[in-house]
Amino acid sequence: MSTNPEQAAPADGSGGGTLDARQLRQILITVSVALMAVMASVSGLNVAQTEMAVDFETSQSTVLWIINIYTLALAALLLPLGAVGDRLGRKPMLIAGLVLFGVASVVAAAAPTAEVMIAARVASGVGAAIIMPITLAVITSTFPEEQRGKAIGVWTGVAGGGGILGMFLSAFLVDVADWRWLFALPVALILASLAMTLKSVPNSHERSPHTFDTVGALVSVVAVAALIYFLQEGPERGWGASVTLASLAVGLIAAVVFVAWELRRRDASLLDVRLFRERGLAGGSITLVVVFGVQGGIAVVLFPFLQAVVGWSGLASAAALMPLAIAMMATSGLAPRLAAAVGPRATMSLGIALIGVSLALMALFVSVDGGYLSILPGIIVMGIGLAFSMVPSTEAITRSLPSEKQGVASALNDVTREFGTALGVALLGAILSAGYRNAIDDELDGIPEQTADTAREGIATALEAAPSAGSRAADLADAAKESYVDGWQQSMWAGVAVMAVLFVYIALRGPKTPAPAPAAPDETADTKTVAA
């Protein structure tokens, strides 16, 4: 099997032929709307944790499960469901995913108990795991070579900015209505996308003589689920807790088994792991893990800064990330042109360098008195850097797998994003927390012991406990804010160091400029993509 994708001939929904610009535009709008629904649901419930805990009369740990179970199901099922979509047909799979996601969202909105809510979120995650890889696979299997980069740029902008936009709209709905209205936006987007899918999206699928790699699919689910669980639960339960270490061990063992099994299956594998020797797949995957880790980590550390240090509301804090989303979505349209002019390696290197600069700006100029304006330049620069690094990385991954495996390629692209986000949230959050505790320890002399212990837990608890410090209340509040800024700076400089290493790697080993598209594949090949 070739390691370069076959040139998939665009086809219309009625059996073949070249699609015109209007049809391609409709397809792009359709998959972008579907993707926006998924991304909005990833972050939306984060702003309603308190309201859900009160409504369901449940603990904070249960609320976190309601939030995290969606991402866990989504990440674990991406690869196998992407492969199923390649075989069964991308259009019917997209329709099935939209229907499942929409029904699950309605059930979640009306859930009477936390248990029903968790079940609905699992079903939503399964639907999202169908939708996400199919949306990108539809683009890569439908758009002609010369227009594919621009379409991937739009998809990447929606994937990166959709979560931020969803968080802002969710915070607005929580403020003006009720947390259950958070599901109104995804449901509306799903209904619109479903109608457009039935009308506009062509079908394509793989015709393969090999049986489906069921063992590889099941092992991949175990590996991804266990590793994501480890990253999600580590900060909550402790990295040394038995359940945390057990999930890490299971994930690593399953990952090794998956690689060994896929090497044995070779051409009949779910994912040909030998392709990671190539610069495009390796460089694109590593870059997405790191940059999505930075984006996810920034979101986690930014909200306590804005709410506890600056004193903003949840809605204002969500709006503070909008410049990042706008910069990223606007620049995503420019990234394919730059990659075509100077090559994907140079474009990715520029994006990585800009992200490093943005982290340095936020480390150098952040301050309690400066507030949001002290970090705004860094946020804008980060949005530009994310676009320049993500778009060519995504295209490098999809180019590395053949056209009949575009569902798998798209799923792999999405898995790297989910891993990166979970990893960034865990690591940047841990660095900031450690920096905060070390800094505030030096400011607790004369503070009652019980109040001091509470203050060490985090800035939110420190500000809540400050009145119990008596005459030192104002000093404790100020110390907590300054300590958070100290921890923020340490996490930003750690991010700069990571981006510097990634820059060197991509500059030396990044994807090469792709060769011209090969001629149409031989019809006698064992495996080919069929458009219907």
Secondary structure of 48-75 in HEC code, one letter for each residue: HHHHHHHHHCCCHHHHHHHHHHHHHHHH
How confident is the model at residue 208, as a pLDDT? 67
Residue 60 lies in a domain: yes
In a domain, 526, yes or no: no
Note the pLDDT tens digit of each residue in 285-315. 999 999 988 888 887 788 888 888 888 887 8
Q: DSSP for 228-277?
A: HHHHHHHHHH-TTSHHHHHHHHHHHHHHHHHHHHHHHHGGG-SS-GGGGG
Query: Which uninterrupted H or E stretch holds 384?
Result: helix 376-400
Indicate if 309 and 457 belong to the same structural domain.
yes
Domains identified in the chain, total number: 3
Q: Based on the fold, state whether residues 345 and 478 are members of the same structural domain.
A: yes
| Cα distance between residue 22 and residue 6, in whole Å | 24
pLDDT of residue 165: 80
Length of the chain counted residue by residue? 532
Residues of the chain with pLDDT under 70: 1-17, 43-44, 60, 208-209, 267-268, 514-532
For residues 115 and 178, what is the distance between their CA atoms, to the nearest angstrom?
A: 20
Whether 223 and 329 map to the same domain: the answer is no
Phi, psi of 526 (to 5 degrees): -65, -35
Q: Is residue 530 part of a domain?
A: no
pLDDT digit string (tens) for 190-233? 999 999 999 888 887 777 667 888 898 999 999 999 999 998 88
Domain identity same for 463 and 495: yes
pLDDT at 352: 96
Q: Which of 203, 204, 205, 201 is nearest to 28 (CA)?
A: 201
Write out the residue range of the structural domain in which residue 69 sits.
10-204
Would 436 be classed as within a structural domain? Answer: yes
**Domain assignment present for 362:** yes
Are 80 and 158 part of one and the same domain? Answer: yes
Task: Give the pair of three-digit tokens for residue 479.
Answer: 């110390």
Confidence (pLDDT) at 523: 39
Strand partners, 229: none
What is the per-residue pLDDT for 55? 86
| CATH number of the domain that residue 33 is part of | 1.20.1250.20
Q: How far apart are CA 188 and CA 195, in angstroms?
A: 11
Closest CA to 422 of 233, 243, 148, 251: 233
224, 308: one domain = no
Is 0.85 surpassed by the pTM of this model? Answer: no
Residue 514 pLDDT = 63
DSSP-assigned letter for residue 215:
H
